[in-house]
Amino acid sequence: MKTQTVLRASAAIATLAVITAGVSRISSQQAQAAPSPGHASHLKNAQTGGLKLASVSSLSFGPAGLLLVAEPGSGSVVGIETGDTGPMKKPKPIADIGTVVAAGLGTTAENITIKDMAVNPESGRVYLAVMRKPDNAAAVITIGADGKAGALDTAKFAWARVTLPGGTTTKVTNVTDVACASDRVIAAGSCNEEFASKIFSIPMPLEHGGTASVFSAETYHVSHKKWETRAPISSFVCEAEDGKTNVVGAFACTPIAKFPVGDLQSGAQVKGVSMVELGSGNRPIDMFMYSKGGKRWLVTQTQRFHQPLFGPSNLWGARVDMALLNPSSPDKTNEKAVHRDVKQAKDPQGIEVVDVLFGAVQADKLSDEEAVVIRDNGGKLAMELVALP
Amino acid sequence: MPRPARRTSLILILALLALVIAFAAWRATHRASPEPRFTLFVHPADESHDPAKVVAAVFTRTSEHLDWSALLPKDLSGAEKILWIEQIGGGGSARLFGGYSVRGGELYFTPSAPLLPGATYHVAFAPPDAEKGDVQSPANVGFAATSGHGRLDLMYQVPAATAEAPKLQTLHPTAEELPANHLKFYLTFSEPMEQGVFLERIKLLRADGSEIAGPFREAELWSPDGRRLTVWLHPGRQKTGVSLNEAEGAVLREGETVALNVSGAWRSVRGQKLGVDFKRSYRIAAAARGQVDPSKWSIQPPKANTRDPLRILFPGPLDWALLQDGIRITSDARQPLDGRLHIADGDGEWLFTPKTPWQSGSHLIVINPVLEDLAGNNLNGPFEADATASAAAQPSVAELPLRIE
C-alpha cells in the first residue's frame, strides 16, 4: 500500500512538474470569474495562467473588470481580465483590515504594507495591492460584499504585461501610478538614477510584450515659480476634454497640473498647465473624481509633512471643483494658478477640505455618493465606507 | 452410481464450491471501498523545489473516476471548507489565502504567497461529514503525504533560513566630501533586502549625533534584483527657492560633518539581520552649481600595443551609478571598444582596460549628456536650471578626442 502511495505520489509529482513548468491548463469552467462569452477582450496576445507579480505599487480599473497593476520591480504595467463585472454591491467594512490581510498571508499586521487600493467601479469589490515583509512577496487582495478577504488568484485569468521603455541610461523601475483613459492606459514612472518626469501611454487593447510611448513632462511649478522637467508625478487621474485625453497629475510639491497627451507622438515633450496649488508640505497619495450637485470634483488624498496640520491628522484630503481645471480664462494657470486659501476649510474658490478623509491612508470612489477609505485608527487599519460631501 | 464416480462428482462439487468461495473472497477484498480513500500531500509548487513554495493536493486511488463535482460546484466555490493550509503558532492560526484548481482528477490549493522559513503549517482535507482527524502528528520537515478514508491532517514545517547575515557591500559616494546640494546615495547589499523600511533603517546624523529630520525622498528605488537601493536627499529641500527648502532649509550645511547610518536591524528577504550598524562620515563642502564640463577632465592616454588602462581624472567626483554606463571609448569609426571598467579615488577617477591591446591612432571618448556630478548637474546644464528657453544652458561637449601612440 505504501509503495502504491509512493508510486501514485510520484506520478502526481511528475504531473505537477509538467503542469507547473509550463502554462497552467486550468479549464475556463474552473475559473472563478472568467470573462463572459462574447465579451471583447481589452488585451492582445493575452497570456493565460502563470502570472506571478514581482511587486505591486498601484492598482486601477479599466473597462469590464480590467485590473491594471503597476509592477515597479520590472518597470511594467500588467493588465488582468478579472471578469469581475458586477452586479454592484457595497463592500462590507472591516474593523481591522491589516490583521485580516496579514493572517491570510501567514504573517502579522506590522509585516504587511498596503501600497494601494482600488474599488472596482462595476462590482464595488475592493482590491488591495499588498507587499509582505521581509520577503517582499506581492499579492492582490480582494474584499467583497460579504466582508471576506481573499487573494486574487492570478493563475486563473487572462493577462498581459507591458514593460515601460527606459530612460536615457537606465531602466524604468519605479512606476508610481497607473490609470485607464478611454483609448489607452497611462502610467507615471521614473528611473532610479534620474530625476525626471515621464508619462507613458500604452494603447488599448493592452498588448503582452508591447511597448509604450513616452513623454517628458514639463510643468510650471507654482511654488518656486519655475518651469520644471525633473519633478516626477506622484499621483494622477485621466479625464477627457473635447474627446481628447488629459492627464491630471499632482507632484510632491503639490501643484495640480493638466497634461494634454491626446495627439502627442512618442518622445515628445508635453507641457503641463499648472491649475491649482494646494500649498507646500503635502505629498499626494491618491486621486479620484466624482460628480455631485451638478459639479465634478477632483479629490486628492495627501500626506502632510509640515505644521500646521489642517485637522486631526496629517493625512487629509481636499476636493477641487473640476471647473478650476478647465478654466475659460488663461489668467488662472501657471504663475496665476489658483492657490488654496489654507486658512479656510471651504475655500470659496472651489477647494474644500473633505472631513471624512482625515486619517485615510487609502481612498477611492465607490459611487458619486460614497468612497471606500482605509483609515489609520491609532495603528489599526480600518476599511470604512464614507459619504462624499 | 459406482462409488468412484460419486467421489469424483463430490470432489468436483467441492472444488466448484471452493472456487465460488475464493471468487467471493477475492471480490470482497478487491471491491471498491464504500468510501473513496484519499491521499493528501504537500508538494513543491514548481521546479525550483523551494520548500516555501508548495501546493497542497488531494487525490483518491480512483481519482481518474472521482467526480469532484459531487463535492464542489464547478467554480470550486466553497473549496476552502474542505482543503486548506493554516499557520500554527504566533498566538493563533489563520487560513492562508490561495487559489484552488482541479487538474487530472486532483484538487489543488496554492497559497498566494510563499510559506515562511522556519514556520509550521497545518494542512487539512475535510470532506463533508468527515470526523476530525488526528492533527497531533509530528511536523514533517520536508514534503509529506498521508492517506485515509475521512478527514486528513498533515503538519508541514518549512526549514529555517540559513543563519548567514546579509552584508552592506558598498556605499557610494565613497568620497570624504560632499557638496551641500548633494543628491543621491547608493547602497549595494550582498542579497535582496526587505522593502518598505528604508526610511526607518537609514538615518542622516549631525556631528553631535542628532538626527536630521526628513532628509530623504520617500520614493523607494530598488534595482530589479533587489540588491541596490538608490536613496535621494529630498530634492525639494536641496533645491534653492522651492517651498520646502525655504520652510525647512537644506538638508546639508556647508562646513558641517554628517554621517549616514545604516541600521543593523535591517533584514534580508530571508529574514536575517545585517547585525551591525554601518556608519560613514562626510564633510560638507560648498554647493556645486556648474554643469559637468568634460573639457576640464584630465585624460591620461595609455601607450599603443599595451593593455594599460586609460585614466580619466575628473575635477570632482561624479555619480557612481551613472558612471557605470556614462562613458564609452570608441574607435575613430565609432565602434565601441570592449573592456573592463574601474571607478576609483572616491568616484573621481575612471579607468578603462581594453580587452585587446590599444591600436595606435584616433579614438573617441563619448559621454552620455545625462552623466551627473554628486549634485545632479549634468552635461546639459545645472540641476537647478530653469526650463524656460531664455535661461537654458548650452550643453557641454559630449565627445573628446583620444590619441593613442
Average pLDDT, integer, range A328-340: 71
Examine the pLDDT at A9 and tell me if it is beyond 70: no
How many C-alpha atoms does B361 have within 13 Å on its Cβ side?
Answer: 7
- pLDDT tens digits for chain B (405 residues)? 566 677 778 888 887 877 777 766 655 555 444 566 788 999 888 888 888 999 999 887 664 556 777 778 888 888 888 999 998 876 556 899 999 998 888 899 999 999 999 899 999 998 876 665 555 455 566 677 888 878 888 889 998 888 899 999 999 999 999 999 999 999 999 999 999 999 999 999 999 999 998 899 888 999 889 999 999 998 777 666 555 565 667 889 999 999 999 999 999 999 999 999 999 999 999 999 999 999 999 999 999 999 999 999 999 999 999 999 899 999 999 999 999 999 998 999 999 999 999 999 999 999 999 899 999 999 988 887 655 545 556 888 899 999 999
pLDDT above 80 for A37: no
Nearest Cβ partner for A8 among B39, B98, B116: B39
Range of weakest confidence among A19-28, A184-193, B94-103: A19-28
Q: What local confidence, expressed as pLDDT, does residue B2 receive? A: 60
- A239 within a domain of the structure (yes/no): yes
Output the pLDDT for position B107. 92
Cβ of A131 and B59 within 8 Å?
Answer: no
CB contact under 8 A, B244 and A281: yes
Whole-number pLDDT of residue A167 = 55
Q: What's CA B342's distance to the chain center, in Å?
A: 27
* Alpha carbons B42 and B51: distance in angstroms, whole number: 10
Distance CA B330, CA A209 (A): 33
Neighbours of A181 (CB within 10 A): 20
Determine whether the interchain pair B223/A173 forms a contact, defined as Cβ–Cβ distance below 8 Å: yes
Query: Percent of chain A having pLDDT more than 70?
Result: 82
Please give the Cα distance from A353 to A311 (Å, whole number).
Answer: 9
Asked if residue A23 has pLDDT above 50, the reply is no
Could you tell me if residue A314 is inside a domain? Answer: yes
- The answer to whether A103 contacts B94, with C-beta atoms less than 8 Å apart, is yes
Mean pLDDT of chain A: 81
Asked if the C-beta of B273 comes within 8 angstroms of chain A's C-beta atoms, the answer is no
pLDDT at residue A311, rounded to an integer = 85
Closest partner residue to B387 (CB to CB) among A173, A228, A281 is A228
Residue A220 lies in a domain: yes
Nearest-CB residue to B119 (from A24, A25, A106): A106
Inside any domain, residue A262: yes
Between residues A1 and A163, the one the model is more confident about: A163
In the stretch 177-236 of chain A, residues with CB closer than 8 A to chain B read: 190, 192-195, 218, 221, 223-232
| Range in A14-28, A178-192, A306-320 the model is least confident about | A14-28
Lowest mean pLDDT among A106-110, A360-364, B90-94, B299-303: B90-94
| Residues with Cβ within 8 Å of residue B105, at least 6 apart in sequence | B59, B60, B63, B64, B65, B66, B68
- Round to whole Å and give the CA distance between A233 and A236: 7
Chain B residue at shortest CA distance from A103: B94
Domains of chain B plus CATH, in order, are 38-157 (2.60.40), 168-285 (2.60.40.1220), 294-382+390-404 (2.60.40.1220)
More confident residue, A299 or A226: A299
Specify the pLDDT at position A80. 97
Q: Stretch A356-363: mean pLDDT, rounded?
A: 95
Q: A377 in a domain, yes or no?
A: no
User: In this complex, is the C-beta atom of A174 within 8 Å of any C-beta atom belonging to chain B?
Assistant: yes
For residue B7, the distance in angstroms to the closest alpha carbon of chain A comes to 43
Name the residue facing B106 among A12, A169, A192 (closest C-beta). A12
Q: Give percent of chain A with pLDDT exceeding 90.
A: 46
ipTM of the complex: 0.84
In the numeric block, the cell 514556520 is attached to B119
CB B337 within 8 A of CB B330: yes
Average pLDDT over residues A79-97: 95
User: Residue A360: its pLDDT value, please?
Assistant: 95
A chain contacts of residue B193, beta-carbon cutoff 8 Å: 134
Residue A258 lies in a domain: yes
A370-381 pLDDT tens trace: 999 999 988 899
Q: Which of residues 309-368 of B touch A (CB under 8 A)?
A: 319, 321-322, 325-326, 368
Query: Across A1-10, A326-335, B11-20, B120-129, which has the greatest mean pLDDT?
Result: B120-129
In a domain, A313, yes or no: yes
pLDDT of residue A242: 76
Which candidate in B43, B59, B72, B103 is best for mutational testing of the A interface (most A CBs within 10 A)? B103
Distance (Å, rounded) from C-alpha A117 to C-alpha A109? 17
CA A312 to chain B, closest CA, distance in angstroms equals: 21
Structure confidence at residue A68 (pLDDT): 97
Region of A82 on the Ramachandran plot (φ > 0 left; ψ -120 to 50 alpha; else beta): alpha
Tally of structural domains, chain A: 1
Cα separation, A92 vs B44, whole angstroms = 36
Residues of chain B above pLDDT 90, percent: 55
Chain A within 8 Å of B147 (Cβ-Cβ)? yes
Mutate to test the interface with A, among B84, B242, B322 (most CBs of A within 10 A): B242
Q: Which helix (H) or strand (E) holds A26?
A: none
Selecting from B110, B111, B269 the residue whose C-beta is nearest the C-beta of A136 gives B269
State whether residue B196 sits within 8 Å of chain A by CB. Answer: yes
Q: What residues make up the domain containing A275? A: 216-358
In a domain, A385, yes or no: no
Determine the Cα angle at A76 with ends A262 and A170, to 5°: 95
**pLDDT single digits (tens) A190-201:** 788 877 778 899
Interface of B with A in 155-184 (CB under 8 A): 183-184
